[in-house]
Structure 1
Amino acid sequence: MGELKDRYIRFDWAIKRMLRDKANFAVLEGLLTVLFEDKTQIVEILESEGNQLAETDKFNRVDIKAKNSKGEIILVEVQNTREVYYLERILYGVAKTITEHISLGESYGNIKKVYSISIVYFDLGKGNDYLYHGQNRFIGVHADDELQITTKQEDALLPKYPRDIFPEYYIIRVNEFNKVAKTPLEEWVNYLKTGEIEPETKAPGLSEAREKLKYYSMTPGERHAYDEHLNAIMIQNDVLSTAKMEGLAEGRAEGRAEGRAEGRAEGLEEGWAKGKAEGLLSTARKLKSMGMPPEDISLATGLTIEEIQEL
């Protein structure tokens, strides 16, 4: 009975399938409240080209685009496999979101602040922390002070900092978390990494997750699709790890042969790209042969429906 009681659906699956439902907003609100250190309420989930898979716009993929009670926009994305230009993709997604939500001729005062939250399950780079926060601050080169802007708001002139307007970025490096969870933030990151939730948790959103995201509350068909999703991630990660080693070896050999320092980097990047493409196609073929619907295969691999149908 312990297994039935304590197994919960991983966040990366729930965010694609369940957390867009208003009845489950409290789960995501809990994570945002912990991250922002301020109670956050989601008013609605926004639908636009920015959070749909499109063959012509693959760089702008987010899992949830939400509006909070302050009218600000929050982008949440889970990424399981390595992306070479991940930071550039985050920047593009935020910039496009800003322009999507202001019409031609509107005042710039209507531009909405955007928060970008990336939950990554791959080796993003070097760093000793599992949570990084990026914010725009304008600091005096000589005076070392922070620039404060005077702005008009409700017929009054008020001081405002650029950081109040510019986007903020949060990157959660899930695999770097190796602590005993004691704080609400640590409990949340532990859940993101392991899918485990403490029975007596008081962390915002996690008690709701215990009720809403039970593995054995899914139908047999949903559980099958979910299990295949986990298998697909494992296969992809194995393929990418192999590609990384092969790319590193190939890059070293090329660098020695041609005497170019960039040989190693090119070999590594080429190995990653080739390994990822081959791994995704192989995974998709296996899932298709098992009878999984194209829509589920697309969610698990990131391939388009058209690409899957051609396999």
Structure 2
Amino acid sequence: MSNYIRFDWAMKRLLRDKANFSVLEGLLTTLLNEKITISRLLESESNQESEFDKYNRVDLLAEDSKGELILFEIQNNNEYAYFQRILFGTSKLVTEYIYRGNGYEKIRKIYSINIVYFSLGCGTDFVYHGKTEFRGMHNNELLELSPFQKQTFKVDAVSELYPEYYILKVNDFNRWSKLPLEQWIYFLNTGEIPADATAPGLPEAREKLKLDKLSKDELKAYYRHLDNIVILRDNIHTEREEGRLEGRAEG
């Protein structure tokens, strides 16, 4: 049993406190490779979760010091249309956070950070990054911004205007490393923070996410959360096995 609280439960209960923003800021700083400061949390759809989603999924919407929107989502179990779900989430934010009457230049940058505990798609890496580029169909030339657009929008590339997507496939990553991003992935999967962890945010997580800091009621709720996740995963595994057996029986 880990001595630290699972990240999904922490994100739902603890990391929404401004005093604990440093943990999320550390993950973002490591992932985006630049210093990120969260200025506030915004309303997210997790307040309207179903009973199933309460254990299966957690999300959190933050705004950084530059006014950029950052959508965190943790998905515990398989969702076959998850790629489309990611697209829906960012599209919804684009429309929700541009005020009526504003020009398109007021559309805000969005980062979609997706931490998944299941095998999403086919691929052997554990961190994937997606962004939008436009290339010529005949010469593969990258379409660039004009000097005026660069000055006006304060970015260097078209891709910087569009949402960027990160998928962290943390399941089964059990290798400790000196690399900050791999240290984070290890923690997200195992819940352990070794003494030599140096990645931004992990030293803070070691202090703020200790199990022994929870009250008795919080601890009971946390263990119920863990039990429900195990039940959900067992149910999905059973359904898959039953489906395979039925398929074989039918030939």
3-state SS of 1:63 partner: strand
Number of the residue aligned with 2:22: 26
Task: List aligned pairs for 1:179-198, cutoff 5 A.
Answer: 179-198=175-194
- Contact in 2 for aligned 1:151/1:158 (Cα 8 Å): no
Structure with more of its chain in helix, by fraction: 1
Between structure 1 and structure 2, the one with the greater Rg is 1
Residue in 2 that maps onto 1:213: 209
Cα 1:154–1:218 change in 2 (3 A) is same
| 1:101 corresponds to 2:97 | yes
Asked which structure has the greater RCO (Cα within 8 Å, sep 6+), the reply is: 2
Distance 1:133 1:141, change over 3 A: same
Which of 80, 84, 88 aligns to 2:84? It is: 88
> For the Cα contact (< 8 Å) 1:151–1:159, is it kept in 2?
no
TM-score by length of 2: 0.90
Aligned counterparts, 1:113-152, within 5 A: 113-150=109-146, 152=148
Equivalent residues in 2 for 1:1-311, closer than 5 Å: 7-48=3-44, 50-53=45-48, 63-150=59-146, 152=148, 160-254=156-250, 256=251
Aligned sequence identity (%):
49
Gaps of 5+ in 2: none
Q: Tell me which amino acid in the other structure corresponds to 1:80.
A: N
Query: Residue 172 of structure 1 aligns to which amino acid in structure 2?
Result: L
CA positional deviation for 1:145: 2.1
Give distance in 2, aligned partners of 1:118 and 1:242.
26
1:85 counterpart letter in structure 2: A
Output one character per residue of 1:108-132: Cα deviation in whole Å (capped at 9) or x when no partner: 0100011001101112122111111
- After TM superposition, the score normalised by the length of structure 1 is 0.74
CA contact (8 A) 2:12 2:58 kept: no
Q: Which runs of no fewer than 5 residues in structure 1 stay unpaired?
A: 257-311
Total equivalences in the alignment? 246
The CA deviation string for residues 33-74 of structure 1, in whole angstroms up to 9 with x for no partner, is: 0000111110110115x443256xx8xx75110011111100
The CA RMSD over aligned residues, in Å, is 2.2
**Structure 1 residues 135 and 156, CA, compared in 2 at 3 Å: closer, same or farther?**
closer
Aligned to 1:292: none
